[in-house]
Chains A and B, each alone.
Chain A
Amino acid sequence: MRLLRLVRVRSTSFFWARLRWVISVFLLLFAITSQAEYGVNMTPGVTDISQSVYSLHMIIFWICVVIGIVVFSVMFWSMFKYRKSQGAKPAQFHESTTVEIIWTLIPIIILVAMAVPATSTLKEMYDVSESDIDIKITGYQWKWQYEYINDDVSFFSNLSTPQEQINNEATKGEHYLLEVDEPLVIPINKKIRFLVTANDVIHSWWVPAFAVKKDAIPGFINEAWTKVNEPGIYRGQCAELCGKDHGFMPIVVKAVEEPEYQAWLAAKQEKAKAEALLASQVWSMEDLMAKGEEVYNTSCAACHQQNGMGIPPAFPGLKGSAIAIGPIEAHIDIVVNGKPGTAMQAFAAQLSDVDLAAVITYERNAWENNTGDTVSPQDIAKAKGN
């Protein structure tokens, strides 16, 4: 347990402000005016499917409300009318087959009425045929990889909220915990098929505005699809407990018009080429360190901490560690191939040779490790065996 930063002392005004807020919210709840503002309900979303799911949700909700009102009113009326303190004398009846048959049949009819629209919506959700674009989504602890199967584009999407905000050392941004370094970009009005899988444990890819939630299961590929009606930025989160940073694995989807999508795709392909070129260049220590710090903070800091201290014993510190100041080959090996049976994953597929070279150089020289070693992208390529 890390008993750090005990609850920051809040001024008493905080308490009173909140109390006033609570009272006003309860009043508002009865007025049913401010539903959207405080997020008390599901939203209709931006796809045809999400809209039918929303209306399905509202239908069941209102059916439940009506049943609840009927049953509870009878109950409260009985409690009010037949109180012992009012001198009520108990009746003697305790059976009526007719009544019991009626209140078995009525719920069955209501259930059938619910099942009909639910069935047709479900059928539609399962129809993954005739897609325009196929995107493979892979869940990793704790990031998402997106591969545009037919367009040769692939990248990772990491949480971009700075650690300082999470640790309450900086003011939290507007999209706290719901922002990523590289969002998934898709065109609107196109049927997009998602092929969902995972690399390590089970994750679940969920974007509420699309009404898409599909488990990402290692060894299996699940299918889901969406067709977005409006351009915009849509946010979601991983919805299956996947380990320590399950809460820090957001999903951001940017839905854009077709031309913008094409431009983005072209730029992405261009950038991939440029990166391949970078791997063959000679890198200076400064450049490696600068790049390495950036990579470290997105890919390593969640476990090993920004200050290299780790969270022992599960996540060892790197400052002065045997790996980080020991033989360089062992260091490259553990970052590239991971350590089986631990949370240390193989980064070979996740990071480019340049990123790997930079981050290992960074780890060997940051936090007073000062080995003076530099690792080049070529060293990495050699270690990978290509």
Chain B
Amino acid sequence: MSAVVESELKEDNHHGPATGIGRWLFTTNHKDIGSMYLWFSFAMFLVGGCMALTIRAELFQPGLQIIDPGFFNQMTTMHGLIMVFGAVMPAFVGLANWLIPMMIGAPDMALPRMNNWSFWILPFAFTMLLSTLFMEGGAPNFGWTFYAPLSTTYAPPSVTYFIFGVHMMGISSIMGAINVIATILNMRAPGMSYMKMPLFVWTWLITAFLLIAVMPVLAGVVTMMLMDIHFGTSFFNAAGGGDPVLFQHVFWFFGHPEVYIMILPAFGVVSQIIPTFSRKKLFGYHSMVWATSSIALLSFLVWAHHMFTVGIPLFGELFFMYATMLIAVPTGVKVFNWVATMFKGSISFETPMLFSIAFVILFSIGGFSGLMLAIAPSDFQYHDTYFVVAHFHYVLVPGAIFGIFAAVYYWLPKWCGNMYSETLGKTHFWLSFVGMNLAFFPMHFLGLAGMPRRIPDYALQFADFNWISSVGAFMFGFTQLLFLYIVISTIRSGSKATAAVWESAEGLEWTIPSPAPYHTFTTPPEVK
């Protein structure tokens, strides 16, 4: 037998994708699972977005117009939960699935069968969570932070479904994180030392450790709630000797690192994109790794800055204030490094670059308001107002979500082999950019002028900025349908992409053909 025939036979032994629904139900292929994560996340993004638009429609004018206050609270709660656990986190896991094996030269994730599980848990978890909307007493209505005792003693019966939903999301996240860590630690191509890993891989490695550290804490807090509600314990019930503030400490010990879980992978994404379109190597690779790790470590020490008003002692207040302010240092280093990467580059403005530039600018604005919030005495004035709403939306929309958009535009040609329409991509960017700023910038003013968050109706002096904010929100929301159209039409047609796609992109994923074959790197590439 000749060598040619032998290799052909070998090709035959390779399994391609299965056909029919079985391909998706039973797949262990990292690319299929990555795609499913991304589609699921986009579906949740639209569901959570519709809830946001319901909120903004109600707040369009003073007075109660469309929904009653009880349903308003259900909308704010579900919007937060779905966006955090259903949209942002699964989108990053989807990116990790698609990209980490291709970036480190591995054939697949380390634990493919578990990978299938960690995805398929999610649709069930969210079906359960969404079904609470149709239950007697309504969906969870106590805010995405579900502070006890509002969420225990005074909660609707559906809270039990919510607790189980959160458990399932947590299980999924932990399995995903274990998989990422196992893959990165064990399956790097020969020669790829830690300090040669792409930054996206680095940021995800750190994120995965954060996930493993804090998801059990979330599981713990909801289990304590479950015990309080059904088994007569009094963890959070002062009348039984418990402590409602304990809930907040435990919740935010999870919740603060969680916000970095939602942002670190986006840091990784823009650290890949900005060098490409500046045609220059990333400035300060080592300090980027150092800064990301410091941010992750510090994130465990600052949880109580969400609780400056609960009456923690002066010493505690000072400690958490200083620690929180300190996070500005590594974050600043990252921003300066991105700017220095662009400095003296040869910059072009393709859609992923536009989203990345907007990321740097708007995330910095979110960081500035974060620094303001860190100062405890002024935090008393900002806390639980629209200033906070503005702050975290400036961090999460241009941060996490623009980061995801940038990633999708950047790697979509690699995934499906076709180029997206640059004109439509840029239109999507500018509409999102204007809509997002219109929606969230006025919220700074509202908060400073004294509008509390989570209120279905407001005093007359807040009417004008709320009106602008609602218009911006609808603009941002409907623009995402354009994104859906762009992605679908790129998958179906479009000019063929080359293997490298971008002029000066670096990394192993650009050495394989576009679209990426179903199985890649069956023999590991050598990294010099």
The CA-CA distance from A125 to B207 in the complex, in Å, is 37
The CA-CA distance from A85 to B350 in the complex, in Å, is 12
Inter-subunit contact A2/B68 (CB<8 Å): yes
Q: Is A362 an interface residue (CB 8 A)?
A: no
Inter-subunit contact A41/B445 (CB<8 Å): yes
Inter-subunit contact B321/A115 (CB<8 Å): yes
Q: Is B422 an interface residue (CB 8 A)?
A: no
Inter-subunit contact B449/A168 (CB<8 Å): no
Inter-subunit contact A99/B380 (CB<8 Å): no
Among residues 435 to 461 in chain B, which have CB atoms less than 8 Å away from a CB atom of chain A?
Answer: 445, 448-450, 452-461
For A2, the chain B residues whose CB sits under 8 A away are 67-68, 71
Inter-subunit contact A215/B310 (CB<8 Å): yes
Selected interface stretch from A76-84, A145-153, A328-336: A76-84
Inter-subunit contact B332/A201 (CB<8 Å): no
Q: Is B36 an interface residue (CB 8 A)?
A: no
For A176, the chain B residues whose CB sits under 8 A away are 62, 459-460
For A21, the chain B residues whose CB sits under 8 A away are 464
A84-B348 contact in complex given A95-B284, A166-B64, C-beta closer than 8 Å: yes
For B243, the chain A residues whose CB sits under 8 A away are 219-220
Q: Which of B73, B381, B464 contacts A25 (CB 8 A)?
A: B464
Closest Cβ–Cβ distance, residue B255 to chain A (whole Å) = 15
Q: Is A111 an interface residue (CB 8 A)?
A: yes
Inter-subunit contact A40/B238 (CB<8 Å): no
Total residue contacts A-B, CB cutoff 8 A: 310
A200-B149 contact in complex given A67-B368, A94-B283, A217-B310, C-beta closer than 8 Å: yes
Closest Cβ–Cβ distance, residue A248 to chain B (whole Å) = 7
For B349, the chain A residues whose CB sits under 8 A away are 79
A237-B445 contact in complex given A68-B368, A100-B284, A242-B150, C-beta closer than 8 Å: no
Q: Which of B147, B342, B376 contacts A82 (CB 8 A)?
A: B342
Among residues 1 to 49 in chain A, which have CB atoms less than 8 Å away from a CB atom of chain B?
Answer: 1-8, 18, 21-22, 25, 38-42
Residue-wise interface mask of A (290-311) relative to B, using a CB-CB cutoff of 8 A (1 in contact, 0 not): 0000000000000000000001
The CA-CA distance from A176 to B458 in the complex, in Å, is 8
Inter-subunit contact A239/B329 (CB<8 Å): no
Inter-subunit contact B342/A79 (CB<8 Å): yes
The CA-CA distance from A57 to B380 in the complex, in Å, is 11
The CA-CA distance from A168 to B348 in the complex, in Å, is 52
Inter-subunit contact B339/A74 (CB<8 Å): yes
Among residues 212 to 258 in chain A, which have CB atoms less than 8 Å away from a CB atom of chain B?
Answer: 212-215, 217-220, 222-223, 236-248
| Residue among A60, A68, A242 with max Cβ neighbours from chain B (10 Å) | A60
The CA-CA distance from A320 to B326 in the complex, in Å, is 62
- 18 example contacts (A-B, Cβ-Cβ < 8 A) are as follows A2-B68, A39-B448, A60-B372, A84-B348, A90-B345, A91-B345, A95-B284, A100-B284, A103-B336, A111-B326, A122-B317, A177-B457, A201-B154, A218-B238, A220-B238, A237-B455, A240-B147, A313-B136
9 closest A-B pairs by CB: A219-B238, A247-B455, A39-B449, A91-B344, A222-B311, A64-B368, A94-B281, A40-B445, A239-B384
Given contacts A168-B63, A314-B137, 17 further A-B contacts (CB under 8 A): A40-B448, A56-B375, A56-B377, A88-B344, A90-B279, A94-B283, A103-B332, A103-B333, A111-B326, A115-B325, A166-B63, A212-B380, A213-B309, A213-B383, A217-B311, A240-B147, A244-B141
Query: Which A residues fall within an 8 A CB radius of B?
Result: 1-8, 18, 21-22, 25, 38-42, 52-53, 56-57, 60-61, 64, 67-68, 71-72, 74-75, 78-79, 82-85, 88-96, 99-100, 103-104, 107-108, 111, 114-115, 118-119, 121-123, 125-126, 141, 165-168, 172, 174-178, 200-202, 204, 206, 208, 211-215, 217-220, 222-223, 236-248, 311, 313-314, 341, 343
Query: Which B residues fall within an 8 A CB radius of A?
Result: 57, 60-71, 73, 136-138, 141-143, 147, 149-150, 153-154, 156, 238-239, 242-245, 278-287, 309-311, 314, 317-318, 321-322, 325-326, 328-329, 332-333, 335-337, 339-349, 357, 360-361, 364-365, 368-369, 371-372, 375-378, 380-381, 383-385, 445, 448-450, 452-462, 464-465, 467-468
